[in-house]
Chains A and B, each alone.
Chain A
Amino acid sequence: MTAQRRAEVGMMEQDSKASRAAKQTAAMVVGTVPIIIGVLALTSLVTAAVPPQTICDLLPMESLLAPFLGGLVGSIAAGHPVVSYVLAGELQAAGVGLATTTALIVSWVTVGIFHLPVEAAILGARFAIWRNVICFVLAIATGYAVAFLMLVGG
């Protein structure tokens, strides 16, 4: 085989690989974008009907269950993480404990109850459910750990 023929074959192989990669990517776009759009729309509707601040006002955020509730609010809420900082800052100023605000901040980013359908569709239902349960528990544990370390550290 001549050098020119080898180059032509190499280019053809590269083209077919690129076309296969493009097809795989397009299939993923077609399969996932509608679900992501649906989840975003549903999350927007729920948070417009019941804003996280309202949930915090309604729940006993200074009780023993507070870190659990903080984690729950973070799991339901959606939006930029900056919003969780603002909300946690306001709660802290109102006397809510560090474990609760930390659980809220961590679960805001790591747990997504409304994103569960997307995660389940892409990564598998069993994986998605277990990961979210584990991250919810660990968000609360992180809250307690940070509060303890800050207490010990003075």
Chain B
Amino acid sequence: MGATRGTAVPRKIIGAWLFPAAVAALYAATALFSPAIAAQALKSFGALLANITPAMVLVFCLIFLTNLFIDRRWLARHLGKTSGVRGWVFAIVAGILSAGPLYAWYPLLGDLKAKGMRGELIAAFLYARALKLPLLPLMVQYFGMAFTVTLSLCIIVFSVISGLLVKAIPGIEDADAGGNR
């Protein structure tokens, strides 16, 4: 059994790197036919990576803190089946306040889902992220105050609708919960 456990972890690590290895092969193939596109993609990848790294560090720190301090009872009360309206408010406000790209938040949400966070609240959180407080002045400058206010209110309403629609999908709560449980 010890031997099985010993090989399981490296196998998991190798498996996780298969996808980026396949993408690296795609880059190599692209570089053969169009070095300019491959170079531009690499530059863009570097910029995206630099952009996402602080958010990922923050998210993994939050995951560590939730693993350390948040137990299932607390989570059930605030974001679980019995959280009610408080859960919706919590998820939408957190979605609006969350910074960084969408995918940076998947690990934390996966962790919270494994601890009992409702799927509809995850959907509401992810939709509410369309409302970006730091970017509101820029949006006002581009599209005007009326558009910004209207869109912001619509995003809040539609984030609830997205959660309700996700909830309506049969079996979504019990479905495969990913590999990070």
Q: In the bound complex, do residue A102 and residue B165 qualify as a contact, i.e. CB atoms below 8 Å apart? A: no
Interface of B is mostly: helix
Q: Which residue of B lies closest to A41 (CB)?
A: B23
Residues in B whose Cβ lies below 8 Å from that of A79: 48
Of the stretches A3-11, A23-31, A53-61, the one at the interface is: A23-31
Interface size of A as a range: 35 or more
Residues in B whose Cβ lies below 8 Å from that of A47: 41, 44
B24 at the interface (CB under 8 A from A): yes
Q: Which residue of A lies closest to B17 (CB)?
A: A34
Q: Which residue of A lies closest to B16 (CB)?
A: A34
A125 at the interface (CB under 8 A from B): yes
A12 at the interface (CB under 8 A from B): no
Q: Which residue of B lies closest to A30 (CB)?
A: B13
Q: In the bound complex, do residue B48 and residue A43 qualify as a contact, i.e. CB atoms below 8 Å apart? A: yes
A65 at the interface (CB under 8 A from B): no
A49 at the interface (CB under 8 A from B): yes
B94 at the interface (CB under 8 A from A): no
A112 at the interface (CB under 8 A from B): yes
Q: In the bound complex, do residue A28 and residue B60 qualify as a contact, i.e. CB atoms below 8 Å apart? A: yes
Given contacts A29-B60, A125-B176, contact A135 B103 (CB under 8 A): no
B58 at the interface (CB under 8 A from A): no
Residues in A whose Cβ lies below 8 Å from that of B176: 124-126
Name 17 interchain pairs, CB-CB below 8 A, sorted by A.
A20-B67, A24-B111, A28-B107, A28-B110, A32-B16, A44-B41, A49-B34, A81-B135, A88-B142, A121-B178, A121-B180, A125-B175, A125-B176, A135-B123, A146-B154, A149-B150, A150-B147
Name the 4 nearest CB pairs between A and B, nearest first.
Answer: A38-B20, A21-B67, A122-B110, A48-B41
Q: Please give the residue numbers on chain A whose beta carbons come within 8 Å of chain B beta carbons, in ascending order.
A: 17-18, 20-22, 24-25, 27-45, 47-49, 78-82, 85-86, 88-89, 92, 98, 102, 105-106, 109-110, 112, 115, 117-127, 130-131, 134-135, 138, 141-142, 145-146, 149-150, 153
Q: Please give the residue numbers on chain B whose beta carbons come within 8 Å of chain A beta carbons, in ascending order.
A: 12-13, 16-17, 19-20, 22-24, 26-27, 30, 34, 37-38, 40-42, 44-45, 48-49, 51-52, 56, 60, 63-64, 67-68, 102-104, 106-107, 109-111, 113, 119, 122-123, 126-127, 129-130, 132, 135, 138-139, 142-143, 146-147, 150-151, 154-155, 158, 161-162, 165-166, 169, 171-172, 175-180
